[in-house]
Structure 1
Amino acid sequence: MILVFGMLLDAAIGEPRLLWSRVPHPAILMGRLIGWCDKAFNTGDNKRVKGAAVVMGLCLLAGLLGWALKSIPTAVVDVVIIAVLLAQRSLVQHVRAVGDALRLSVGDGRMAVAMIVGRDTRNMGQAAVARSAIESAAENLSDGVIAPAFWFAIGGLPGLLIYKIINTADSMIGYRTERHEQFGWAAARLDDLLNLIPARLTALLIWAVTKRPHIQPILQEAPRHRSPNAGWPEAAMAHGLDIALSGPRSYDGQMHDFPYVNGDGERDLTPIHVDQAVYALWKTWALGLCLASVIFII
């Protein structure tokens, strides 16, 4: 029942600006630690070995911290930590902000979506802005909500903290760049492993709440995605809303001709489609909450 209360608290209060403007968010602290490790150890030879050792150290540290916090004899600590490390309400707020900004102008939409995606936004049209927001919604629903809840259900606070620090490490050093391809290899591979089940669970939940009659298209298209995990919630959202996602986009000034997911779906996306994605986020969260409740009862 602790997970249920944590999910409810996160949905109710999100990330209070008043609090996090005064003290650093745990994700910020994790990022600072990973950044220090990057500077200290990502040098010289054997970078892949050093990166693997850093990942092992991060897991050990997160696990020990989770175990120590778990020993505090009150469930309130667990509930608060879950609420802090889940991101349902903040995800909804960021995605909805893109739709609201896009209603004002394409330029406002570009500025809003640039806060949640890493691709180039300068030349995006309305459809590309909306598509980017919806893709971010699907992927971050898995990474920021379902996966941390899943790992808390499996491993309690140690499981949750290990997942969050590895997911943060992947977002910082898990890229195939000259600097991080070797050093970040272990973080990227472990993040892929930790998201293997949650990504597919997220896709199943999205499919269930969007009432699409067939799941076969999701099963066929998700494995073709460039990411081993992000393709699952993205494919489920694309087919659930009957829209085309993924497709061509630019990173660092270079255009990439990625194939569309659900290429026969609607491509002329608007703020209305962003609203539909937000509604799907809440329905998926609600079904996840019901699932967590059932697990507690069993």
Structure 2
Amino acid sequence: MRVSGEGLLLGVALDALFGDPKRWHPVAGFGRVASVTERFLYKDSRWRGVVFAGVLVGGAGVGGVVLERLGRGSVLVTAVSTWVVLGGTSLGREGLVMARALERGDLVAARERLPHLCARDPQGLDEAGLARAVVESVAENTSDAAVAPLVWGAVAGVPGLLMYRAINTLDAMVGYRNPRYERFGWAAARLDDAANWVPARLTGALVGLCSGREAWRVFLRDGKKHPSPNAGRVEAAFAGALGVRLGGVNEYGGRVERRPEMGDGRAPEARDIRRAVGLSAVVTFAAAAVVWGLR
């Protein structure tokens, strides 16, 4: 299969210009299909979860093959598919909304907005806690929403793009360690870990290349401390690049997680959100350049 490097780059440009489609977003439509499928297949069983993930991810792959064949590998089909699955620009916009709320001291607005970025319970968070949550989310999603789709698009074209986004969406829906999803969501979570293993490390390396020695040092030293096999690599690199300290106590719906700290700097502040968003954009374009160079 010949991958359209031009299509991937054009998709990055479309995302930079427009962000996510405002209406009829295919990823939202996939989420609705997944919700209906879950109602039919759900059982507190790993096997049911394997079937659930297999049907939906496989269906996304078949859809990608059909699109690619109908478009005869056209640049336009690849570009639109890339635009649809990327989320880097929308991620940055959400980060800036949070930055503006914190800069004007509006903690109520910031707490209300935080669920747009992550599942962390915002009610007990002060300014520093909110800033840390946003910086960590921007870091992790630079890999999940920007670099990883480009990697899989480069490897497997439109089917790779759509299957990756299906995997990542299912992980966001059911990949939780709670009584309902610990077994049913196991397959989706493990697929997401596998799909993001290389992209997360590539993202961390690109942060180092774009930022310098300190990002590399913290990436290599602290990335493996995180309970996630992937998120820690990117968060550690961002911590080093921004000169801040990430990690600590997080609360998710009454469940408390204590994560090792990464980086040697101060606690994040509102202004660091803007720096994280800028770094995320630079890394996304660097990833696009790598994809172009390897096509």
Counterpart-to-counterpart distance in 2, 1:120 and 1:16: 28
In the other structure, the counterpart of 2:228 is: 227
1:12-91 alignment runs, 5 A limit: 12-17=17-22, 20=23, 23=24, 25-43=25-43, 47-71=45-69, 72-73=71-72, 74-91=74-91
User: Aligned with 1:257: secondary structure?
Assistant: strand
Which string of whole-angstrom CA distances, capped at 9 and with x for unpartnered residues, describes residues 174-206 of structure 1?
111111111111111111101000010011111
In the other structure, the counterpart of 1:278 is: 277
In the other structure, the counterpart of 1:242 is: 243
Give the C-alpha shift of residue 252 in structure 1.
1.4
Equivalent residues of 1:209, 1:284 under 8 A apart: yes
Instruction: State the 4+ residue runs in structure 1 displaced beyond 6 angstroms.
Output: none
Which string of whole-angstrom CA distances, capped at 9 and with x for unpartnered residues, describes residues 261-295 of structure 1?
12x3111x322111111111121122112212212
Aligned match for 2:11, one of 6, 9, 34: 6
User: Aligned with 2:251: secondary structure?
Assistant: strand
Instruction: Report how many aligned residue pairs link the two structures.
Output: 287
- Tell me which amino acid in the other structure corresponds to 2:123: R
TM-score with structure 1 length normalisation? 0.92
User: Aligned with 2:116: secondary structure?
Assistant: coil
Counterpart-to-counterpart distance in 2, 1:87 and 1:161: 13
Q: Which moved more, 1:54-63 or 1:155-164?
A: 54-63
User: Aligned with 1:266: secondary structure?
Assistant: coil
Give the C-alpha shift of residue 213 in structure 1.
4.5
Give the C-alpha shift of residue 224 in structure 1.
1.4
In the other structure, the counterpart of 1:152 is: 153
Give the C-alpha shift of residue 109 in structure 1.
2.3
Distance 1:155 1:178, change over 3 A: same
Percent same amino acid at aligned positions? 34
Give the C-alpha shift of residue 79 in structure 1.
0.7
User: Aligned with 1:178: secondary structure?
Assistant: coil
Distance 1:295 1:53, change over 3 A: same
Q: Which moved more, 1:110-119 or 1:273-282?
A: 110-119
- Tell me which amino acid in the other structure corresponds to 1:62: A
Which string of whole-angstrom CA distances, capped at 9 and with x for unpartnered residues, describes residues 221-261 of structure 1?
11110111111110100011110112112221343332211
Which string of whole-angstrom CA distances, capped at 9 and with x for unpartnered residues, describes residues 95-153 of structure 1?
11110111122223222323211111112111111111100000111110100110000
Equivalent residues of 1:101, 1:112 under 8 A apart: no
Counterpart-to-counterpart distance in 1, 2:199 and 2:7: 19
Equivalent residues of 2:215, 2:238 under 8 A apart: no
Counterpart-to-counterpart distance in 2, 1:164 and 1:224: 26
Equivalent residues of 2:225, 2:232 under 8 A apart: yes
Q: Which runs of 5+ in 1 are unaligned?
A: none
Q: Which moved more, 1:34-43 or 1:161-170?
A: 34-43
Distance 1:205 1:7, change over 3 A: same
In the other structure, the counterpart of 2:202 is: 201
Distance 1:214 1:249, change over 3 A: closer
Q: Which moved more, 1:232-241 or 1:173-182?
A: 173-182
In the other structure, the counterpart of 1:210 is: 211
Distance 1:179 1:114, change over 3 A: closer
Counterpart-to-counterpart distance in 1, 2:35 and 2:54: 16
